[in-house]
Chain A
Amino acid sequence: MKEKRMNPRKVSALKDFACVVPVLIFLAIFTYYPIVELIRISFTDWNLLKDTWQYVGFKNWEWLFNGSGTRYLWNSLRVTVLYSIGELAVTIVGGMLFALIFNRMNKAFGAMRAIVFMPKYVAMSSAAVVFLWILNTDTGILNYFLSLIGISPVDWLGNRNTALISVLMLTGWRCIGYGMMIYLSAMMGISTDYYEAAALDGANSVQKFFKITLPMLSPTTLFLFVTTFISSMKVFQSVDILTQGGPYRSTEVFVYNIYRYAMVDFRMDRASTVAIFFFVLLLLVTVATMKISKGNVTYDS
């Protein structure tokens, strides 16, 4: 009997463990297993059209880094980075600008804030379809307004130079309110003591912004930077509906590139290979952002 009784600390640890087991099982099935599968599939020649597959060694990796896939890998990397920079600029710079403009707590401004934030509630697919019409070359309202000031019609979605900008217009419309809201709540949290002290020392409002507001918002900026950057790297829906990666793959972001190999070309092997590359890349980027930003953020404690 005595031997069977367990150390109470051990029992407690076991209980703790039992509590996380369900989550672990879920993670194992829906996250870790697919990742392991991806790696395995990348060494096969699995084409959805065929019933059988076999292992082909590093063939897909060769295709990706030293074959016809290379050109489009770098293309999608470039497009994704450009898109991310755009979304980051809109969310952080635009969000902060809007937060400063709408930082008045009364009913009228409350209503305006709600209007700016509203697009976030609209489903991306619906919004994208509406933008398809806005951006239409012949009948779109954007070109109509441009024609009023004498600008000839622009083929927004059919031209390499404007297609990505068009996608970013939709992104901006949807995301700027989100950035604004996050910044506003952070601004509320900055103690007025700082501003009073600065006023006593004779600081003007520009100085107040750069010496107090901006540094005090740096944790928020970091948060927005990291979350927006990672989510923007995974953009898909808007591209799928607005441009399908076109014209001629000029808006083919990473996830769309993977989707294309898997569901248009039916090359699961190639899609998996690109997906692994993307996964590793995203992992490295996240670690790097966290590391670099550690030293440059002011936490008000």
Chain B
Amino acid sequence: MRKKLALALAAAMTVGAITGCSGGGSTGKSAVGGGETAAAAEEGGETTAADPANYEVTEPITITWWHALEEQYTDTVEQIVNDFNNSQDLITVQAEYVGSYSDVNEALVAAHAAGSGLPAITVANTPYVAEYGAGGLTEDLTPYIEATGYDIEDFGDGMIAASQYDGKQVSLPFLISTQIMFYNKDMADEMGITMPTTWEEMDTFMQEATVKAADGTTETYASIIPGWDQWYFETFYLNQGVKIINDDQVTTDLNSDTAVAIAAKLKEWCDNGYTYWTGTADDASSNMRNNFISGKALSVIHTTSLYDTYVDQCDFEVGMAWLPGAETKNQEIGGCVLLIPAKNDQATKNAAWQFMQYLCSKDVNMTWAEGTGYMPTRKSVLETEEGQAFLEKKPAFQAIFDNLDLINPRIQHAAWNQLTTIWKNSMAELIIEGGDVQEAMDQMAMEIDDVLGDV
């Protein structure tokens, strides 16, 4: 009897497993099917691209907006959403704070893979644009722009490029920032220090601006370079001709002589106590901020978006200096774009498009620019008297306005996110734990080549 029961059990299990298997097959198929419908819809969209009727909102709809705007921005977010909801009858927007940019990324990709639970519209950190574009996650906004006659040309050129993938406008610039060196102007004046403008000068600056106690420990760091996001140190490489991703798109030159020399320099500054490596932990950013606010660092490299936050918290004058350059003195766009997930239905997309135009409008943009450290995104502000009026309110932004043309889009590669994780970890390990720079960079390059070649 027992044997028979066991047999029956085994049979039941096998059946379960087999039905399971076929279920799995259909998952794959349905995913492919999803892609096909999307493609078909796209084709349909193309043939009637110019017809604005296709992109109109005709019935009342509630849509969700995912964002990554922390507590200090809550009031602004609420006000902007309420204003939009009150400005028309059909669309109700619900704003949802998802977490950091990487939290948004994880939630968005998971929802995209599941095909459900997607927001109508979401923010995305600038480097993700390529990944999403390549994966078909984002709706191509080109037909929407054409049909509704949206004036895209008014955005800064670099910002437009940063929100495109493969020539398609898959997102719009929303809250844009760039890297900047915040410095304690009072302290710098007192010490008679001028901020470095080149990588060469940086070396002397690091030595001279560091204040050490009698026992050799550091009292004031010359500068702090964030190690939790390579965005803050990658321009040092780019401006010295390191490509990070070679033209073949599958290898890195982060172990080239120049790149290794830069890594060695960064390590040397840390070893000498001129600065410290922040590491990648969650509290690295708040620790760095506290060091600057409390006067334990003359300068920090951070994002311009935090300008107002720093000014509020520091009891000294906060200056902004362009990052030290080399052959070039380019910088990169940071912050976030807005995009519409492609797997949404057309009605949701249309409503999202309406809200997106509003969020990216000049007025809303200026609300952000004036209340936070995010930049004006419009040429009609940047290049006109309005920009001058803005500068009068925030003179420190002169450093950015002087260099607007030097703000470039990010490197776009589908494996960029994986590359940066390896890079950040390797740098932290090398500098904090010590070791041979060339060896560490070679090992890192090997891992990076592997992810670049496998996307």
Given contacts A24-B16, A32-B17, A136-B283, contact A248 B109 (CB under 8 A): no
Q: Does B450 belong to the interface (CB within 8 Å)? A: yes
Inside 8 A of A158's CB, which chain B residues have their CB?
A: 279, 281, 284, 432
B20 and A29 form a contact (CB under 8 A): yes
Given contacts A48-B113, A247-B280, contact A17 B8 (CB under 8 A): yes
B135 and A52 form a contact (CB under 8 A): no
Which residue of chain B has its CB nearest to the CB of A45?
Answer: B454
Inside 8 A of A50's CB, which chain B residues have their CB?
A: 135-136
Which residue of A21, A48, A159 is within 8 Å of B432 (Cβ)?
A159
A36 and B32 form a contact (CB under 8 A): no
Inside 8 A of B280's CB, which chain A residues have their CB?
A: 246-248
Q: Does B106 belong to the interface (CB within 8 Å)? A: yes
CA distance A37 to B132 in the complex (A): 26
Inside 8 A of A157's CB, which chain B residues have their CB?
A: 281, 283
A13 and B16 form a contact (CB under 8 A): no
A48 and B109 form a contact (CB under 8 A): yes
Segment with Cβ contacts to A, from B238-246, B255-263, B376-384, B423-431: B423-431
CA distance A160 to B112 in the complex (A): 36
Q: Does A264 belong to the interface (CB within 8 Å)? A: yes
Which residue of chain A has its CB nearest to the CB of B12?
Answer: A24
CA distance A264 to B12 in the complex (A): 36
B281 and A246 form a contact (CB under 8 A): yes
Q: Does A51 belong to the interface (CB within 8 Å)? A: yes
Inside 8 A of B80's CB, which chain A residues have their CB?
A: none
Segment with Cβ contacts to A, from B23-31, B51-59, B62-70, B89-97: B23-31
Q: Does B21 belong to the interface (CB within 8 Å)? A: yes
Q: Does B193 belong to the interface (CB within 8 Å)? A: no
Which residue of chain A has its CB nearest to the CB of B450?
Answer: A68
Which residue of chain B has its CB nearest to the CB of A159?
Answer: B432
B17 and A36 form a contact (CB under 8 A): yes
CA distance A159 to B433 in the complex (A): 8
Question: In the complex, which of the residues B279, B414, B450 has the most CB atoms of chain A within 10 Å of its own CB atom?
Answer: B279
Q: Does A199 belong to the interface (CB within 8 Å)? A: no
B279 and A247 form a contact (CB under 8 A): yes
215-256 of chain A: CB within 8 A of chain B: 243-244, 246-249
Question: In the complex, which of the residues A16, A155, A159, A247 has the most CB atoms of chain B within 10 Å of its own CB atom?
Answer: A247
Q: Does A209 belong to the interface (CB within 8 Å)? A: no
Inside 8 A of B432's CB, which chain A residues have their CB?
A: 158-160, 247
Q: Does B41 belong to the interface (CB within 8 Å)? A: no
Q: Encode B413-437 as 1/0 by CB contact (under 8 A) with A.
A: 0100110010001101100110000
Q: List 10 A-B contacts (CB under 8 A).
A: A25-B16, A48-B113, A49-B132, A49-B414, A51-B31, A51-B38, A157-B283, A158-B281, A248-B428, A248-B433
Which residue of chain B has its CB nearest to the CB of A20?
Answer: B9
Which residue of A16, A32, A160 is within 8 Å of B433 (Cβ)?
A160
Interface size class on chain A is 35 or more
Cβ of A59 to closest chain B Cβ, rounded Å: 9
Q: How many chain B residues have a CB neighbour from A under 8 Å?
A: 55
Q: Does A103 belong to the interface (CB within 8 Å)? A: no
CA distance A48 to B102 in the complex (A): 15
CA distance A87 to B66 in the complex (A): 40
Which residue of chain A has its CB nearest to the CB of B343?
Answer: A51
Inside 8 A of B279's CB, which chain A residues have their CB?
A: 155, 158, 246-247
1-55 of chain A: CB within 8 A of chain B: 9, 13, 16-17, 20-21, 24-25, 27-29, 32-33, 36-37, 40, 47-53
CA distance A263 to B38 in the complex (A): 24
B1 and A49 form a contact (CB under 8 A): no
CA distance A160 to B435 in the complex (A): 14
A51 and B287 form a contact (CB under 8 A): no
B interface with A by C-beta (< 8 Å): 1, 4-5, 8-9, 12-13, 15-17, 20-21, 23-24, 28, 31-32, 34-35, 38, 102, 106, 109-110, 112-113, 131-132, 134-137, 279-284, 287, 290, 414, 417-418, 421, 425-426, 428-429, 432-433, 446-447, 450-451, 455
CA distance A214 to B445 in the complex (A): 54
A248 and B31 form a contact (CB under 8 A): no
Cβ of A17 to closest chain B Cβ, rounded Å: 6
B1 and A9 form a contact (CB under 8 A): yes
Cβ of B376 to closest chain A Cβ, rounded Å: 32
Cβ of A86 to closest chain B Cβ, rounded Å: 21
Which residue of chain B has its CB nearest to the CB of A249?
Answer: B425
CA distance A255 to B35 in the complex (A): 32
In the complex, the number of residue pairs spanning A and B with C-beta atoms less than 8 Å apart equals: 128
Given contacts A52-B32, A266-B109, contact A68 B447 (CB under 8 A): yes
B290 and A51 form a contact (CB under 8 A): no
CA distance A29 to B32 in the complex (A): 24
95-141 of chain A: CB within 8 A of chain B: 132, 136-138
Cβ of A12 to closest chain B Cβ, rounded Å: 9
CA distance A138 to B292 in the complex (A): 13
Q: Does A196 belong to the interface (CB within 8 Å)? A: no
Question: In the complex, which of the residues B28, B284, B432 has the most CB atoms of chain A within 10 Å of its own CB atom?
Answer: B28
A264 and B281 form a contact (CB under 8 A): no
CA distance A264 to B424 in the complex (A): 15
CA distance A27 to B455 in the complex (A): 35
Q: Does A300 belong to the interface (CB within 8 Å)? A: no
B134 and A247 form a contact (CB under 8 A): no
Cβ of A40 to closest chain B Cβ, rounded Å: 6
Inside 8 A of A20's CB, which chain B residues have their CB?
A: 9
CA distance A26 to B421 in the complex (A): 39
B421 and A264 form a contact (CB under 8 A): yes
CA distance A20 to B10 in the complex (A): 13
Q: Encode A138-163 as 1/0 by CB contact (under 8 A) with B.
A: 10000000000000000101111000
CA distance A25 to B16 in the complex (A): 7
A132 and B418 form a contact (CB under 8 A): no
Which residue of chain B has its CB nearest to the CB of A34?
Answer: B20
Cβ of B250 to closest chain A Cβ, rounded Å: 14
Given contacts A49-B109, A49-B131, A265-B418, contact A247 B429 (CB under 8 A): yes
Which residue of chain A has its CB nearest to the CB of B276?
Answer: A155
Question: In the complex, which of the residues A17, A24, A33 has the most CB atoms of chain B within 10 Å of its own CB atom?
Answer: A33
Inside 8 A of A249's CB, which chain B residues have their CB?
A: 425
Inside 8 A of A17's CB, which chain B residues have their CB?
A: 5, 8-9
Q: Does A57 belong to the interface (CB within 8 Å)? A: no
Inside 8 A of B20's CB, which chain A residues have their CB?
A: 28-29, 32-33, 36-37
Q: A28-B16, A132-B283 are in contact. List 17 more A-B contacts (CB 8 A).
A: A13-B4, A13-B5, A29-B20, A33-B20, A36-B20, A37-B20, A49-B137, A53-B28, A137-B287, A157-B283, A158-B279, A158-B281, A246-B281, A247-B429, A248-B425, A263-B110, A265-B417
B35 and A52 form a contact (CB under 8 A): yes
Which residue of chain B has its CB nearest to the CB of A156?
Answer: B281
